[in-house]
Structure 1
Amino acid sequence: MSDDGSRAVSVIAFIGSVFSPWYRWSGRRRPHNHVCINVATYGPGGRFTMTDRGEAALRQTPSVFQVGPSMLRWTQGRLEIDIDEVSSLPLVSRVRGRITVTPSAVTSVELPLLANGTHVWRPFAPTATIEVDLNRGWQWRGHGYFDANFGTRALEDDFDYWTWGRFPVTGGATCFYDAVRRDGSDMAAAVHFTEDGRAEAVSPPPLTRFRRSNWMVMRETRADAGFVPRQVKAMLDAPFYSRSAVRTRIGGEETVGVHEALDLRRFASPLLKPMLAVRVPRRAGWHFDV
């Protein structure tokens, strides 16, 4: 998110693109045949890109993850993301440039979301600076984070709903992960990360509901008793998913962070997949000219 709060960007790299209808229709048998670098920019002139590509478009080394013309590269303690994508309908256009994420530290934390380890959250860098240099006049600096989720099963097979938030606070950032599993059990995790990468489980404030998204996705996050969180910037609004900048209060400190809510009961509906195919084109035949 930019320092002035007017712009934001998200980048998600997938092997086995969990939100791709093409991957679901394939039976999820070959995750490496459904790879993607999803880029979304929020603010004036924002765009959304998410192209599902085949296995021939994937290259990996210990420090490089490349899908088609776009690449993530870890070098000299920072993550460089080179982007060359085409945004989806209705605003079809080229999105090109570089995003650089520089962590204040890299953590060693892994959080299993299920006891059997089929889903794991890995917060690599909960505090970081970000520099964005994209076409269409997108040049700015701000703060961000770098994390990952790993899984061996479909999200909708194990969860009904989850919400996640990362909020900058004095001395670092606090992350909240709350979920309702398919077996009816709840998961609640609250972790404070210092700027030097130390992590500590903390007692979370109450789980508090706030205004639903435009698609009526239920939203809730942690907030001090008596404080009602509120959206201060809309980002991604889908029938099953909401991403936004949200203001809350933690331990008496008001903060604005990125919040996500995911309704996996809706996502599991087969009626949703053709809608997603419009936003997530499949380009199975892309290959490197080598």
Structure 2
Amino acid sequence: MTERPAGSVSHDVTNLQIGPSHVEWKGDALEITIEERDKRLFNPLRRKVRGKVRVIPEALNPASFALDARENHIWHCMAPRARIEVAMDEPRVRWSGSGYFDHNRGSEPLEDGFRTWHWSRAHMKSGAVVCYEGERGDGSVFASAIRFGADGIPDETDLPPSADLPSSKWGIARRTRSEIGFAEVSRTWEDTPFYARSELASKLYGEDVVSVQESLDMRRFASPLVQFMLPYRMPRQKR
């Protein structure tokens, strides 16, 4: 992923173009065409990353949710459950599996609206569950559990008990929700100074589930040190 200037971004009703990469609805699938180069710390050589990812929703949810009273930040879980097909040419990788598709949009930077948040999503025998909680920039807190039926329609449900998780290697505090008040970190995929994404084993609404969980610390993100470090991990194209 490369940070790019506004002139490198365009969109219409079905397509989003970001530099040489683009995201486009084709029939019942979202097709992501990737034309990028990776970034390895302290290594100036950037390998090509090229291929396609197809996201095929099992159902679409039309409703979005405001995360703050002024509606500066909107979250939309478009496909609580989906199938994905990955076909990369460089590196040569192909696989398929289950997935999820959401997006956030807003009228101010995330670091202005939030201090921290914790999010998790689990596929259930029927539908999916998303738990979302955190602390806003003004110090107020929010927490909700949303259960999506097989038809993708959301229904706010009782919030399961809080379950603390071990901090990430970078010291990011992690938290989730589980019926037994306990969850196990099976593996951590992303561990950065301000963000961690992990796979959990827990229990929700009577079912043993595998969850994808993320914790974000926007105070860390906004710190001068992290802002200085970011271009070393994410290339930044100025023009």
Instruction: Using the TM superposition, give the Cα deviation of residue 71 of structure 1 relative to its aligned residue in structure 2, in angstroms.
Output: 0.7
Instruction: Using the TM superposition, give the Cα deviation of residue 87 of structure 1 relative to its aligned residue in structure 2, in angstroms.
Output: 0.5
Instruction: Using the TM superposition, give the Cα deviation of residue 284 of structure 1 relative to its aligned residue in structure 2, in angstroms.
Output: 2.7
Counterpart-to-counterpart distance in 1, 2:9 and 2:106:
19
Mapped pair 1:219 → 2:174: yes
Corresponding residue for 1:138?
A: 93
- Structure 2 counterpart of 1:218, one-letter code: A
Counterpart-to-counterpart distance in 1, 2:93 and 2:168:
26
Mapping 1:256-275, distance limit 5 Å: 256-275=210-229
Counterpart-to-counterpart distance in 1, 2:225 and 2:171:
17
Instruction: Using the TM superposition, give the Cα deviation of residue 81 of structure 1 relative to its aligned residue in structure 2, in angstroms.
Output: 0.5
- Structure 2 counterpart of 1:155, one-letter code: L
Corresponding residue for 1:77?
A: 28
1:211–1:230 Cα contact (<8 Å) kept? no
1:248–1:254 Cα contact (<8 Å) kept? yes
Corresponding residue for 1:19?
A: none
Counterpart-to-counterpart distance in 2, 1:216 and 1:257:
21
Corresponding residue for 1:155?
A: 110
Corresponding residue for 1:86?
A: 37
* Comparing 230-239 and 89-98, the one that deviates more: 89-98
Counterpart-to-counterpart distance in 1, 2:204 and 2:177:
8
Instruction: Using the TM superposition, give the Cα deviation of residue 141 of structure 1 relative to its aligned residue in structure 2, in angstroms.
Output: 0.7
Instruction: Using the TM superposition, give the Cα deviation of residue 159 of structure 1 relative to its aligned residue in structure 2, in angstroms.
Output: 1.3
Mapping 1:11-26, distance limit 5 Å: none
Mapping 1:25-36, distance limit 5 Å: none
Corresponding residue for 1:183?
A: 138
Task: Note the aligned Cα RMSD (angstroms).
Answer: 1.3
- In 2 relative to 1, CA 138–233 (structure 1 residues): closer, same or farther, beyond 3 Å? farther
Counterpart-to-counterpart distance in 2, 1:132 and 1:73:
15
- Structure 2 counterpart of 1:72, one-letter code: V
Question: In structure 2, the residue corresponding to 1:200 is in which secondary structure?
Answer: strand
Instruction: Using the TM superposition, give the Cα deviation of residue 225 of structure 1 relative to its aligned residue in structure 2, in angstroms.
Output: 2.9
Runs ≥4 residues deviating over 3 A: none
1:102–1:128 Cα contact (<8 Å) kept? yes
1:97 to 38, 51, 61: 51
1:164–1:176 Cα contact (<8 Å) kept? yes
Instruction: Using the TM superposition, give the Cα deviation of residue 263 of structure 1 relative to its aligned residue in structure 2, in angstroms.
Output: 0.9
Corresponding residue for 1:280?
A: 234
TM-score by length of 2: 0.94
Instruction: Using the TM superposition, give the Cα deviation of residue 215 of structure 1 relative to its aligned residue in structure 2, in angstroms.
Output: 0.6
Corresponding residue for 2:7?
A: 56
Counterpart-to-counterpart distance in 2, 1:160 and 1:60:
30
Counterpart-to-counterpart distance in 1, 2:186 and 2:10:
38
* Percent of aligned positions that are identical: 38
Counterpart-to-counterpart distance in 1, 2:177 and 2:16:
34
1:98-137 deviation per Cα after TM superposition (whole angstroms, max 9, x unaligned) = 1000001111111100011000101111110000011323
1:83–1:97 Cα contact (<8 Å) kept? yes
TM-score by length of 1: 0.78
Counterpart-to-counterpart distance in 2, 1:122 and 1:221:
20
Counterpart-to-counterpart distance in 2, 1:154 and 1:82:
27
- In 2 relative to 1, CA 271–257 (structure 1 residues): closer, same or farther, beyond 3 Å? same
Instruction: Using the TM superposition, give the Cα deviation of residue 256 of structure 1 relative to its aligned residue in structure 2, in angstroms.
Output: 1.1
